[in-house]
Amino acid sequence: MKVVLQDIVRDVAQAAQLALPDAQVVVKRLLSTLEEGLTSGQRIEIRDFGVFQVKKVSGKKGRDILNKRSMLLPDYKKVSFKAGKNIRKWFRVLPGGTLAADKDGQLELL
Protein backbone atom coordinates (compact mmCIF):
# COMPACT_ATOMS: atom_id res chain seq x y z
CA MET A 1 0.00 0.00 0.00
CA LYS A 2 1.26 3.45 -0.77
CA VAL A 3 0.10 6.77 0.55
CA VAL A 4 -0.18 9.68 -1.86
CA LEU A 5 -0.53 13.39 -1.16
CA GLN A 6 -4.30 13.32 -1.59
CA ASP A 7 -4.60 10.64 1.12
CA ILE A 8 -2.68 12.84 3.54
CA VAL A 9 -4.84 15.85 2.66
CA ARG A 10 -7.99 13.82 3.25
CA ASP A 11 -6.73 12.59 6.64
CA VAL A 12 -5.75 16.10 7.75
CA ALA A 13 -9.13 17.45 6.64
CA GLN A 14 -10.92 14.79 8.67
CA ALA A 15 -8.76 15.15 11.78
CA ALA A 16 -8.86 18.96 11.85
CA GLN A 17 -12.43 19.21 10.53
CA LEU A 18 -11.33 21.37 7.61
CA ALA A 19 -12.61 21.62 4.08
CA LEU A 20 -10.44 19.74 1.56
CA PRO A 21 -9.04 22.92 -0.09
CA ASP A 22 -8.02 24.30 3.31
CA ALA A 23 -6.36 21.03 4.32
CA GLN A 24 -4.55 20.96 0.97
CA VAL A 25 -3.11 24.43 1.66
CA VAL A 26 -1.93 23.30 5.11
CA VAL A 27 -0.26 20.13 3.83
CA LYS A 28 1.38 21.85 0.86
CA ARG A 29 2.69 24.63 3.10
CA LEU A 30 4.14 22.07 5.51
CA LEU A 31 5.89 20.26 2.65
CA SER A 32 7.24 23.48 1.15
CA THR A 33 8.59 24.52 4.57
CA LEU A 34 10.36 21.17 4.89
CA GLU A 35 11.72 21.53 1.36
CA GLU A 36 12.99 25.06 2.01
CA GLY A 37 14.70 23.94 5.19
CA LEU A 38 16.41 21.02 3.51
CA THR A 39 17.57 23.04 0.50
CA SER A 40 19.11 25.60 2.85
CA GLY A 41 20.95 22.81 4.68
CA GLN A 42 18.97 22.88 7.92
CA ARG A 43 18.34 19.85 10.10
CA ILE A 44 14.62 19.21 10.54
CA GLU A 45 13.59 17.42 13.72
CA ILE A 46 10.00 16.35 14.27
CA ARG A 47 9.66 15.07 17.83
CA ASP A 48 8.61 11.42 18.17
CA PHE A 49 8.80 11.02 14.39
CA GLY A 50 12.35 11.54 13.22
CA VAL A 51 15.05 13.77 11.81
CA PHE A 52 15.63 14.82 8.21
CA GLN A 53 19.01 16.19 7.29
CA VAL A 54 21.15 16.79 4.26
CA LYS A 55 24.40 14.85 4.12
CA LYS A 56 27.31 15.42 1.79
CA VAL A 57 28.51 12.32 -0.04
CA SER A 58 32.09 12.43 -1.26
CA GLY A 59 32.83 11.92 -4.91
CA LYS A 60 33.67 8.51 -6.19
CA LYS A 61 35.77 7.07 -8.93
CA GLY A 62 33.58 6.10 -11.87
CA ARG A 63 34.16 4.52 -15.24
CA ASP A 64 33.16 5.71 -18.70
CA ILE A 65 32.37 2.44 -20.44
CA LEU A 66 32.22 3.86 -23.97
CA ASN A 67 35.61 5.58 -23.84
CA LYS A 68 37.13 3.05 -21.41
CA ARG A 69 38.42 5.75 -19.09
CA SER A 70 38.11 6.24 -15.38
CA MET A 71 36.73 9.54 -14.20
CA LEU A 72 36.04 11.28 -10.92
CA LEU A 73 32.40 11.78 -10.00
CA PRO A 74 31.70 15.01 -8.09
CA ASP A 75 30.52 15.31 -4.49
CA TYR A 76 26.74 15.40 -4.06
CA LYS A 77 24.17 15.86 -1.33
CA LYS A 78 21.44 13.49 -0.23
CA VAL A 79 18.57 13.67 2.22
CA SER A 80 18.77 11.27 5.13
CA PHE A 81 15.99 10.32 7.55
CA LYS A 82 16.56 8.80 10.96
CA ALA A 83 13.43 7.48 12.63
CA GLY A 84 12.50 8.68 16.11
CA LYS A 85 11.90 6.49 19.13
CA ASN A 86 8.17 6.03 18.58
CA ILE A 87 8.57 5.04 14.94
CA ARG A 88 11.33 2.55 15.78
CA LYS A 89 9.22 1.08 18.57
CA TRP A 90 6.25 0.76 16.21
CA PHE A 91 8.35 -1.13 13.65
CA ARG A 92 9.61 -3.55 16.28
CA VAL A 93 6.08 -4.79 17.02
CA LEU A 94 4.93 -5.26 13.43
CA PRO A 95 3.81 -8.84 12.85
CA GLY A 96 5.44 -10.87 10.11
CA GLY A 97 8.27 -8.49 9.31
CA THR A 98 11.98 -8.81 9.93
CA LEU A 99 13.61 -5.62 11.06
CA ALA A 100 17.19 -4.71 10.23
CA ALA A 101 19.16 -1.66 11.39
CA ASP A 102 22.16 -0.31 9.53
CA LYS A 103 25.25 1.26 11.15
CA ASP A 104 23.55 4.67 11.46
CA GLY A 105 20.63 3.17 13.37
CA GLN A 106 18.22 3.56 10.48
CA LEU A 107 15.60 0.86 10.32
CA GLU A 108 14.47 -1.12 7.31
CA LEU A 109 11.60 -3.59 7.21
CA LEU A 110 12.58 -6.70 5.27
pLDDT at 102: 61
| Overall pTM > 0.75 | no
* Residue 68 phi, psi dihedral angles, 5° rounding: 55, 45
pLDDT at 51: 94
Distance set, CA 45 to CA 3, 13, 23, 59, 95 (Å): 22, 24, 22, 27, 28
pLDDT at 103: 59
Mean pLDDT by 10 residues, the chain (110 residues): 90 94 95 94 91 92 86 91 86 62 58
